Amino acid sequence: VALEARRKGQKANQKEAAALRYIGTLAYLDSTQNALEAYKRSTELEPNNAIGWNQLGHLYMRIGELDKADDAFRIVLRLARTNREYQVIAYGNLGLVYQTRGDLDKAVAPSVRNWVTKKIWPKSMAISGLCMKYATTWIRLFHFMKSL
């Protein structure tokens, strides 16, 4: 009985977390604070959801909370396990945190090391828009790879 109640509670949390992510997505365009609150609550309800943590990291970056953004993106990386696309997203976002801090060497190093040595290029890379979003990182990556 207790196990069944626990499962029902977990399903309810997952549904509420999904609804909060939807609310957060809508609020992201208009109200950073409302989006932040929605994504914080969604990660509390469903702590193993990489999408929620990723968006929370972006919101922390938006308000200048770079340490919290770094933490959120590291959680995405931990949750990615063997999901190469999430690994690339997490490393790219961590690179953005370092880039925003002005540490361009650190901005590229983790991404390059993992992308090159582990060959974790996702199939949807061209579609995802990451190439445009991280243009500076890609240029530095190109020069780094040429030097190998």
**Residue 116 · residue 147 · CB < 8 Å:** no
Query: Per residue in 95-130, pLDDT tens?
Result: 889 889 988 777 665 555 555 545 555 544 443 444
At residue 1, what is the residue type? Answer: V
CA dihedral (104, 105, 107, 108) positive or negative: positive
**pTM, two decimal places:** 0.71
Collapsing DSSP to helix, strand or coil, 106 comes out as helix
Angle at CA 71, nearest 5°, toward 109 and 25? Answer: 105
Task: Say whether pLDDT at 64 is over 80.
Answer: yes
